[in-house]
A and B are shown apart, each in its own frame.
Chain A
């Protein structure tokens, strides 16, 4: 008998299954935690090893940005019952909407690349060549999703990813200089070196990932549609979840920076996953590499399947196609096509020769450059009375949100100008 996959089952599976696993967690926590994937770990670990605690102040700004952006996304989803891509298609001209969609596709392809790079790095820690591991992982993930036995694998990946909860413990056991931590978190170091700005953009890109805003709005909209809409009281819960999730996830991210800075801080840019694993030595001792590899594999494999699925879902939103109707997955060519292309292209790019950690960072920079574009769309939508009615941004909230978006945009602009300048001046 042929198995029938329901896209109706697919959507909750992509967007709300982690909720079932974590039971008490809402979409906000899940969305924000998605930032701690392969790219996130590589970026935070590089921040710790290269600049010790000096990136913590940037993380503080990024946390504020993430809180306001996730809240706006949740509000848009709750009040309109539509995802971000839907709203962009309806509220902007077709060409503008197409531009936004292309940005999202590129950013998400970058994420898929970094997830496969993460899988490759994890296997290399176990001594398996990535040229063997990545193609096998890509085919296995593709088959799991298309042939529908993905559910159990997803739970397994989540269990593996729990290994990363060792970081907060490692941050304490690593005996960092808490005075330095407090000082560097509160007093910004305005480093203007290319490496500092580039890493700051990567931090933005991996923390305020466009994929997370898509996820947040769609998941909140789905839940609302399922329960007949939100009341002011029930929206408060959604809001608390979005804000709480952003803060909790960033506290974990900051722990990764602190743990890495305490062990290998000041040794320059991170060169290998092996080096990053040393941050877990205070917890796991000799088993640090294995613990790190297990966590990296789980987080990367999970995201390598979920990000392309959610991207295909976003395209379905743009085209107005049903996302919650019984339909054979194999009979949805657009959905399956986008999923397949993303997995195939992502794995292929991750196989290009070169340093995996460097590739991971580059993909986060790419996300960091695209993030401000998507943030501008969110900001405009959250200010439109035609969309949100009286729930549009308040004056003070809007001032904070606009400042955050402007700063994120400025950082991206500095990177672009520096890159162009370097090209003009020549090596």
Chain B
């Protein structure tokens, strides 16, 4: 007999996100941050993060979309020199380029944040309250930044609603509570409507790293 209680609880494979030697951060900690050049001049604000190679278990973030004077331009991730509490500092001669979205690229904020998450059976379960990213364990640099999970916790919503604290996005004071590993997530799009995220064991047979 099917247990009714099981039917009423969301069928999402949430896991504690344990990634040794990786520094965790959230998408919303980057969005809105000032982007500065080496001399401290402001180039704009982070509008979005771009991820490619979505087939990988943890897709790499390829760069930032920087908004300045209502225009958005692309800044490749290797150009980021350091992440400080003042903002994201880019190396000399790093003027942002124009952005043309390529096939297979996703905008983490524009396409994924706050989107509907459905389970294996297409049932709506919750929304993506935040996205978790991981980089190599370095205090200042953003090497090998990857999308590792989708936060579905209420805590993430509360964190976003409260006034932003001035701190570098690298540090996390609390381990994420309810996170779906990206290895279990698949973006669904019909090319017209908004992207939905399907999360469940059927999305991939693999066990997350």
Contacts and interface: CB of A to CB of B under 8 A. Distances in A.
B interface, how many residues as a size bin? 10 to 19
A283 B117 CA distance: 55
Interface string B129-168: 0000000000000000000000000000100110000000
Interface in A155-210: none
Contacts of B124: 320-325
A86 to B, nearest CB: 7
A21 interface: no
Interface in B1-55: 4-5, 7-8
A328 B161 CA distance: 30
Given A94-B160, A320-B116, A389-B192, A89 B127 contact: yes
Nearest to B32: A93
A81 interface: yes
Contact of B4 (A81, A321, A325, A328): A328
Contacts of B160: 94-95
A326 B123 CA distance: 10
A331 B8 contact: yes
A332 interface: yes
Contacts, number: 48
Interface string A302-328: 000000000000000001111111111
Contacts of A90: 114-116, 194
A327 B114 contact: no
B193 A80 contact: yes
Contacts of B126: 319-321
A89 B114 contact: yes
B157 A94 contact: yes
A81 B127 CA distance: 16
Given A86-B116, A98-B161, A320-B117, A328 B8 contact: yes
Nearest to B116: A320
Contacts of A323: 124
A331 B6 CA distance: 11
B125 interface: yes
15 contacts: A80-B193, A82-B194, A86-B116, A95-B160, A319-B126, A319-B127, A320-B124, A320-B125, A320-B126, A321-B125, A321-B126, A322-B125, A325-B123, A325-B124, A331-B8
Given A81-B193, A331-B5, 9 more contacts: A82-B194, A86-B116, A90-B115, A319-B126, A323-B124, A324-B124, A325-B123, A328-B4, A331-B8
